[in-house]
Amino acid sequence: MADAVAVFDRTMKSYWLVIGIVCIEFLAGITRADEPLPRQWSASIRWENDTFGGSDRFYTDGVSVSVAHTGRSWLDNVVDKLPWRSERRTIGYDVGQIMVTPSDTKLSVPDPGDRPYAGLLWAGLSIHSEHDNTYNGVKVITGVVGPWSLAKETQREVHRLIGSGLPQGWDYQLHNEPILNLVYEHRQRYTIAGDSESFGVQAIPMANAMLGNVLTQAQVGGQLRIGWRIPNDFGMTLMRGMVHLPPPKHESGLSPWKDWGFYVYGGVGGNLIARNITLDGNTWKDSPCVDKEWFVPAAEVGIAVSSGKFIASFSYVFWGKEFKGQEDYSEFGALTFTWLF
């Protein structure tokens, strides 16, 4: 119990640290007179849930809130040493929660051959670098997996509010464990037809690598998007990635109700997985686990609507089988809302 309290205490301190840094950065951006370019701030919320696919199993819910800004920051000395060119830098801060469950949540003692219950609560710090049509991003994530993630309480309360059956097997979830994960992602944007002021077609190949006790994997894939006034950004992402990407470049004088655009998109990808804590179980303690699949394919389709200062998108994701004995692939929807200010 003492170990669990200590883990929870460290996790909450990391969240308050993120909030404190964001407040300091915001005030510094207001008072800094020597800023070469005005900062551009954005706030974003992302929600992924399998309810959109008509199920309640496996990866069942993920939510994250992010605040980001361009321009100078307390990380300049670090960013200056990174090996890629940058004409726009964005620093992002986010917090989030993820929960996964077995296929049958009515069992009080889960099937040992089914995916274990697991919840994650985290805080993340991201560095986004853009130069012309090239994006590079790095991210560090810390938090906790286990009961102190509050996933059990969150899911049961939501189910109680909507009148759904309560999941019964959370007492068998993974144990408390601090988490630390690093993420690197590279994207390249190609305009196939048209331009940003009218109809356009773009392709965005990407590669991603993760290292840590939550996920150690490599990912490759790409997106194709077709639309009118496609925003000047690098497409969409998922929780199992950078979680949030930098917002489009925008002009401070734009109205949120002008300069409307929209696009539809589709993407495919593959994940080569060395470790997934929600399948392999705890790092240092015996816990429920299953034999994972080493390669997991994925695909998505979606639509996005944007204005001068607002973007809303919805993705529908097909995720391949992740463990031995899994009868079918997973499906979930993802909603993202971003406001630029």
Query: What are the structural domains of the chain?
Result: 2-340 (2.40.128.140)
| CA 100, chain centre distance (Å) | 15
CA distances for 304 relative to 50, 52, 53, 257, 261, angstroms: 20, 17, 19, 15, 8
Residue 308's pLDDT is 77
CA distances for 231 relative to 208, 242, 246, angstroms: 22, 19, 12
Given a cut of 50, is residue 330 above it in pLDDT? yes
Phi, psi of 241 (to 5 degrees): -175, -135
Q: Which helix (H) or strand (E) is 15 found in, with range?
A: helix 2-31
Residue 322's pLDDT is 97
Residue 1's pLDDT is 45
Given a cut of 80, is residue 8 above it in pLDDT? no
3-state DSSP call for residue 320? coil
Q: Which helix (H) or strand (E) is 18 found in, with range?
A: helix 2-31
Predicted confidence band at 251 (pLDDT cuts at 50, 70, 90)? low
Residue 252's pLDDT is 53
Considering just the CA atoms, what is the radius of gyration of the chain in Å? 20
Residue 72's pLDDT is 86
Give the model confidence (pLDDT) of 153-172 as tens digits: 999 999 998 888 899 999 99
More confident residue, 20 or 250: 250
Distance between CA 144 and CA 122 in Å, rounded?
Answer: 6
220, 198 Cβ separation under 8 angstroms = no
Predicted confidence band at 4 (pLDDT cuts at 50, 70, 90)? very low
Tell me the two tokens of residue 290: 């299953």
Predicted confidence band at 9 (pLDDT cuts at 50, 70, 90)? low
Distance between CA 296 and CA 205 in Å, rounded?
Answer: 18
From the list 170, 161, 165, 231, the residue with the least C-alpha distance to 200 is 231
Mean pLDDT of 14-20: 52
pTM of the model: 0.86
More confident residue, 83 or 189: 189
Residue 32's pLDDT is 47
Q: Which helix (H) or strand (E) is 276 found in, with range?
A: strand 261-276
Strand partners, 207: 186, 220
Residue 30's pLDDT is 43
CA distances for 226 relative to 44, 53, 163, 263, 265, angstroms: 23, 24, 40, 5, 6
Percent of the chain with pLDDT over 70: 86
Please name the residues in contact with 185: beta carbons below 8 A apart, sequence gap of 6 or more: 135, 136, 137, 138, 139, 206, 207, 208, 209, 237, 241, 242
Residue 20's pLDDT is 53
Residue 203's pLDDT is 98
Residue 2's pLDDT is 46
Residue 196's pLDDT is 80
Phi, psi of 161 (to 5 degrees): -70, -35
Residue 33's pLDDT is 42
Given a cut of 60, is residue 16 above it in pLDDT? no
Predicted confidence band at 97 (pLDDT cuts at 50, 70, 90)? very high
Give the model confidence (pLDDT) of 21-51 as tens digits: 555 555 444 444 445 557 889 999 999 999 8
Distance between CA 315 and CA 239 in Å, rounded?
Answer: 12
DSSP 253: T
Dihedral, 53, 56, 59, 65 alpha carbons, nearest 10? 80
133, 189 Cβ separation under 8 angstroms = yes
Percent of the chain with pLDDT over 90: 71
> What is the Cβ-side half-sphere exposure of residue 45, based on CA atoms within 13 angstroms?
1
Give the model confidence (pLDDT) of 116-140 as tens digits: 999 999 999 999 999 999 999 999 9
